[in-house]
Amino acid sequence: MSKNYKLDDWSEIAKKELKEKELEELNWETPEGIKVKPLYTEKDLENIKHKIGMPGLPPFTRGPRATMYSNRPWTIRQYAGFSTAEESNKFYKEGLENGVTGLSVAFDLATHRGYDSDHPRVIADVGNAGVAIDSVEDMNALFKDIPLEKMSVSMTMNGAVIPVLACFIACGEEQGCPKEKLTGTIQNDILKEFMVRNTFIFPPNPSMRIVADIIEFTSKEMPKFNSISISGYHMQEAGANQVQELAYTLADGKEYIKAALDRGLEIDNFAPRLSFFWSIGMNFFMEIAKMRAARFMWSEIVKKFDPKNNKSLALRTHCQTSGVSLTEQDAYNNIVRTTIEAMAAVLGGTQSLHTNSFDEALALPTPFSARIARNTQLILSEETGITKVIDPLAGSYYVETLTSNMIDEATKLIDEIDDAGGMVKAIEQGIPKMRIEESSAKRQARVDSMDDTIVGVNKYKNEEKQNINILSVDNEKARIDQINKLKRIKSSRNINNVNSYLKKIEEAAKSKNINLLEICVEAAKNRCTVGEMTTAMEKVFGRHSLSTKTISGVYGKSIKSKEQISSIDKHIDKFIEKEGRRPRMLVVKMGQDGHDRGAKLIATAFSDLGFDVDVGPLFQTPEEAARQAVENDVHLIGVSTLAAGHKTLIPLLMKALNNNEAENIKVICGGVIPPDDYKFLFDLGVSKVFGPGTNIPQAAIEIIDIL
């Protein structure tokens, strides 16, 4: 007869296998501070604080739909957009012919920031990292021959959300699809923009009014359309750990509910159309537990607003595999990473999914890499059998315990936000931004110290050069094409109607009783541009700017590579002996790229390593950056770039330095820069180029050596 073995029996055997080691040495602590044991048993389930329940029923821990993938697989999306609307339309059609079941639109940074393509501040941003949309004419071209009454469209747009959504609605109606039949999602999550991504336009309060206007309009006029996608994705991309992503995203959701209720809306009239958006990184079980915890916690949060419809309690989500986990070094490893992350999203119960392409740490994805990313989902859906069983990990001792741990830790952070007066007040105090930047610095220190392994980057390096074909967008051609289209639109439209609607937008912005989206839809039909509609609102709301703050001490305390630190100290001492002061660096972001994780990380790390560091404001022009460098008497400028504008902006920066007789100031670049562009930059006079995965202490030594 077999004995019913217990935990003590296992412990005895395990200790023998460990020999000299203690059993406790197998425990580890996650970056979130959660202690993880090597073994979980049924006893651990006695302590869980959430209801596992049934799928499709409150608290929806096991999924928002009763049958989940056994009845209908998740929506396969491909987040894409580049150059002009015409080029992006071709890409969408190819995807739809090869397994894509929903579209996800990436807009260029000029559009995000509410500038038309002919604006002087967006010379490097048009058609880079997304599609340029200046008017309803561009939206018509984007969806040409794609029937919007049959197609779910997700749009990642927050800053210029009103004019872009207005153009989409107008496009649908001009196609013959009334707004009540449009399906999809508009991100419309402005709070996280103030925390991490920075593609805001207006200050927080009028931005929240815009969110409420959209929720109000869509709840009444667009019953099949999701009014908001509350996004944790960009938080994790900015360095947030999974608990922070979970907590701050749900806290944002609470704030949006309050904004809609303050507008006089009933909870059941809009809550079922709220959706969420998670990043899925490489901590496999943590990501699964995060999604389960999110559904339970959201159900509990919404319950406090007394809904009558259970659908109001259900959290539905889109997921995207991590961008920050992609590496430039040994880039084919990214295919494996994306597959693992996609599996976590599916086992966690996502409703739709985008899988990143393996070459996105280098440039925009090629058709070749996009096909692999798309097929990753198709293989998971159609070859693995994953879809046959609903929530197969339910009841797992480890997963359920981890879910409970996530709930506990996230609740602490939400309580901190509530104590601050809600998320808007917390953002004004800089609480979530500071927490995320601290997490980012700690993560980088662990990688640089090799406490966290990144295969091909800090361990098991491939010394062979990989020749990877990348996609290059002709930014100048895209910009000229867009400017020509703008000229044609402006020459053929009724200018009196345009002026009338722009005046109406301005008046609506002054009045809380007029819905801005409703006015902008009519303005878009009359060929008002995205930039014109934004400017009309800006006259009333103003354009928001952030003060530049960096944390200090976190990276320095977390880095464990003492030999490297000692070497840097010696190099800096020699520099001081020679120059009479510390090396001084200005870190800049030029153009409309607000992704400042890299810039902030470099600023805080180099400061902790002994440099004097200044940080330029976001959205600088090259001329402004050069002027600040001269005024601050720096030794070098560190340019952070992620949005493919370097081939336009860096030449202008070098020219501006020459014009200011500051050729002695060294220029280094870091970020997403295709290796084929390195020679172009070196020929301009750039001293060093650092790609993703750079070891910061080593980079610091290299930089001191060139000064």
Q: What are phi and psi of 314, to 5 degrees?
A: -85, 125
Cis peptide before 392 (omega within 30 of 0): no
Residue 620 backbone class (left: φ over 0; alpha: ψ -120 to 50; beta: rest)? beta
The token duo for 37 is: 């044991």
Q: Which of 589, 635, 647, 666 is catalytic?
A: 589
| 234 is a catalytic site residue | yes
Return the closest-CA partner of residue 247 out of 407, 31, 434: 407
**Where do we find the tokens 């100031």?**
665
Return the closest-CA partner of residue 211 out of 252, 181, 182, 249: 252
Dump the DSSP string for 292-352. HHHHHHHHHHHHTT--SSGGGG---EEEEE-STT--STTTTHHHHHHHHHHHHHHHHT-SE
| 595 is a catalytic site residue | yes
Q: Which of 79, 92, 115, 256 is catalytic?
A: 79
Find the length of the chain: 707
Q: Which of 69, 92, 115, 233 is catalytic?
A: 233
Q: Torsion over CA of 78, 81, 85 and 86, rounded to 10 degrees?
A: -70
Q: How far apart are CA 455 and CA 490, in angstroms?
A: 53
Amino acid occupying residue 343: M
Q: How far apart are CA 660 and CA 627, in angstroms?
A: 7
Residue 652 CB neighbour total at 10 angstroms: 17
Q: How far apart are CA 436 and CA 570, in angstroms?
A: 31
Residue 180 CB neighbour total at 10 angstroms: 12
DSSP state of 197: I
Whether the CB-CB separation of 655 and 669 falls below 8 Å is answered with no
Q: How far apart are CA 185 and CA 666, in angstroms?
A: 45
Contact partners, residue 591, CB within 8 Å, separation at least 6: 109, 122, 124, 125, 619, 641, 643, 645, 649
| 593 is a catalytic site residue | yes
Q: How far apart are CA 505 and CA 531, in angstroms?
A: 13
Q: How far apart are CA 79 and CA 106, in angstroms?
A: 6
Order across the sheet with 666-671: list the strands: 612-615, 584-588, 636-641, 666-671, 688-690
Q: How far is CA 699 from CA 94, 325, 448, 644, 702, in A?
A: 42, 20, 11, 22, 5
Alpha helices in 176-270 (DSSP H): 190-192, 204-221, 233-237, 242-262, 267-270
Q: How far apart are CA 490 and CA 151, in angstroms?
A: 30
Q: Which of 593, 596, 614, 677 is catalytic?
A: 593
Whether the CB-CB separation of 216 and 513 falls below 8 Å is answered with no
Q: How far apart are CA 377 and CA 69, in angstroms?
A: 13
Alpha helices in 154-195 (DSSP H): 161-175, 190-192
Q: Which of 192, 485, 595, 646 is catalytic?
A: 595
Q: Which of 234, 485, 571, 647 is catalytic?
A: 234
Whether the CB-CB separation of 158 and 152 falls below 8 Å is answered with no
Enzyme catalytic residues: 79, 233-234, 589, 593, 595
